[in-house]
Chains A and B, each alone.
Chain A
Amino acid sequence: MSVPEVVSALHHEESADPLLLGGETFTSRLLLGTGGAPSLESLERAIRASGTQLVTVALRRVEASSSGAMLEVLDRCGVRLLPNTAGCRTAREAVLTARLAREAFDTAWVKLEVIGDEHTLLPDPIELFDAAEQLVAEGFTVLAYTSDDPVLGRRLADAGCAAVMPLGSPIGSGLGIRNPHNIALLRDAVSVPVVLDAGIGTASDAALAMELGCDAVLLASAVTRARDPERMALAMRHGVEAGRLARGAGRIPRRWHAEASTQMSGLPEL
Chain B
Amino acid sequence: MKVTVNGAPTDVGDDATVATLVAARAGGHDRVAVARNGDVVPRSSWAGTRLTPGDHLEVLAPTAGG
Whether B33 contacts A60 by the Cβ 8 Å rule is no
Closest to B38 in A: A96
Whether B64 contacts A57 by the Cβ 8 Å rule is yes
Q: List residues of chain A with CB within 8 A of the CB of B50.
A: none
- Contact partner of B63 among A59, A96, A100, CB < 8 A? A59
Closest to B62 in A: A57
Interface 0/1 of A23-52, CB less than 8 Å to B: 000000000011111000001000000000
Residues 18-47 of B at the A interface (beta carbon under 8 Å): 25-26, 28-35, 38-40, 42-43
Q: How many interface residues does A have (CB within 8 Å)? A: 35
The answer to the question of A261 belonging to the interface, with a C-beta cut-off of 8 Å to chain B, is no
- Contact partner of A58 among B7, B29, B63, CB < 8 A? B63
Whether B59 contacts A86 by the Cβ 8 Å rule is no
Q: List residues of chain B with CB within 8 A of the CB of A34.
A: 64-66
Closest to A86 in B: B65
Whether A62 contacts B59 by the Cβ 8 Å rule is yes
B positions within 8 Å CB-CB of A = 6-7, 25-26, 28-35, 38-40, 42-43, 58-66
20 A-B pairs (CB sep. < 8 Å)? A34-B66, A56-B66, A57-B65, A58-B65, A59-B33, A59-B63, A60-B60, A60-B61, A61-B59, A65-B29, A68-B30, A71-B62, A84-B66, A86-B65, A96-B40, A100-B34, A100-B58, A103-B33, A104-B31, A104-B33
Inter-chain pairs besides A35-B64, A61-B58, 18 sampled, C-beta below 8 Å: A36-B64, A37-B64, A57-B62, A59-B33, A61-B61, A62-B6, A62-B60, A63-B25, A65-B60, A66-B64, A70-B62, A70-B63, A70-B64, A100-B40, A103-B40, A103-B43, A104-B60, A221-B66
